[in-house]
Structure 1
Amino acid sequence: MATRKKKKVSAKDILKTEEINKEKTEQKIKSDSTQPVTTSRNLSTNHKWYVLNIQSGYESSVAKAIKQRVEASKLEKKIKDILLPTQKKIVVKEGKQDIKEEKIFPGYILINMKLSPTTWELITNIDGVKGFVRTDKYPRPLPQSEVDAIMKFMEVEQPAYQASFSIGEAVKITEGAFADFIGSVQEINAEKGKVKVLVSFLGREAPVEVEFSQVAKL
């Protein structure tokens, strides 16, 4: 009876096989992670707030695109609201005050919707949307208490100040009794819009408190 010779397997062949298996596994993991989650376990029968991860700088345009897609698809009953959390800030630059809206969570927007295969596909196929914020594989609803807190924070009537300088930075006082004095920023009070500047006066250093609008960067 003839004996069948076994094919000799080299270390090179083993390594090649392992690389192929590794590549197949990585492709499967990547494929699984990008698949829409449409199982009955996570589909929502009620409207809930979800967080979308958006390409930074495109939050406003993405929010607008979602609204347009929702209206065009007549899905207003399933996707009720889109929230881009912002807060008014008083920015002082070169002695001038300007009020602007600043994003509270750059790169994210909130959406109130019923999660379904249809709404999932509509949202995730919009340019600039990176995906839902998830717990494991499933989108994580945001507790209503957290949404209420964000909305309350947005409704604060008195705008907060935003300093355009930092501690230790050299500045020049432009108004008041110490106009034209040069010093360094010692303390910043963003709530009151005031800054303490350490200046040299009568041979010693003294802190002077002035408004944001009364100092300028060198």
Structure 2
Amino acid sequence: MRFYVLRVLSGQEKKVCEYIEVAKSNGTLGSYVRRVLVPMEKVTSQRNGKIVVKEHPYMPGYVLVEAALVGDTEHTLSTLPNVIGFLTSRTTDGQLEPEPLRTQEVQALLGQVDQDAEGEGRFDVEYSVGDSVRIIDGPFSEFSATIDEVKSDKRKLKVMVKIFGRRTPLELDYTQVEKE
């Protein structure tokens, strides 16, 4: 069994997984499909001062299927509702056939998904130097500040807050501020 990539209509990834699971359980795909994965990532955003965490497909429009493409398996998978087809390559005789993912690619994808599941995921708000923000958490909540430095890899901001007429530097997490 190898991992293959199914191209599906964007937004229908989970529905396609359900169709495949039903086909597995009713015997159409039987033991030819082992796993069906929709790699998901967490996306953190702010709405009305509240932190909202949602899950979105890591690769919109694609579903990973661990399968043995023997008999009608390829045809059955590619003719399911909302499925466009397999990610293919041309053979030496010019035919298109589903191309399996290499082991390193699968491990990298699964490792990235595991890493995203453990962490906070991607932050959906873009900050840049000079932006005005309002601090919403911590001892300086309700203060206004100006961004001096953005450390996107650590999800930290260095901001300048005016306290008693003096500019004071603070290092804050993305979740502790919101754009004004």
User: Which bin holds the TM-score, normalised by the shorter protein?
Assistant: 0.7 to 0.9
* Amino acid in the other structure paired with 1:145: Q
Residues 173 and 180, structure 1, Cα contact 8 Å, conserved in 2: yes
Match of 2:113 in 1: 154
Q: Does 1:211 align with 2:170?
A: no
Residues 46 and 178, structure 2, Cα contact 8 Å, conserved in 1: no
| Residue 140 to residue 85, structure 1, CA distance change in 2 (3 Å) | same
Residues 53 and 133, structure 1, Cα contact 8 Å, conserved in 2: yes
Runs of at least 5 residues in structure 1 that lack an aligned partner in the other structure: 1-46
Q: Per-residue displacement from partner, 1:163-206 (whole Å, max 9, x unpaired)?
A: 42332443222343374214247414353x42233556788876
- Partner-residue secondary structure (3-state), 1:209: strand
Match of 1:194 in 2: 156
Identify the structure with the greater strand proportion.
Answer: 2
Residues 95 and 214, structure 1, Cα contact 8 Å, conserved in 2: no
Please tell me whether Structure 1 or Structure 2 has the larger radius of gyration of its CA atoms.
1
Q: In 2, Cα distance between the equivalents of 1:88 and 1:127?
A: 27
Runs of at least 5 residues in structure 2 that lack an aligned partner in the other structure: 91-95
Shift, 1:119, TM fit: 1.2
- Partner-residue secondary structure (3-state), 1:63: helix
- TM-score, scaled relative to structure 1: 0.65
Q: In 2, Cα distance between the equivalents of 1:52 and 1:166?
A: 35
Aligned residue pairs total 171
Shift, 1:67, TM fit: 1.3
Match of 1:141 in 2: 100
Q: In 2, Cα distance between the equivalents of 1:194 and 1:111?
A: 37
Q: In 1, Cα distance between the equivalents of 2:43 and 2:58?
A: 11
* Amino acid in the other structure paired with 1:69: A
- TM-score, scaled relative to structure 2: 0.76
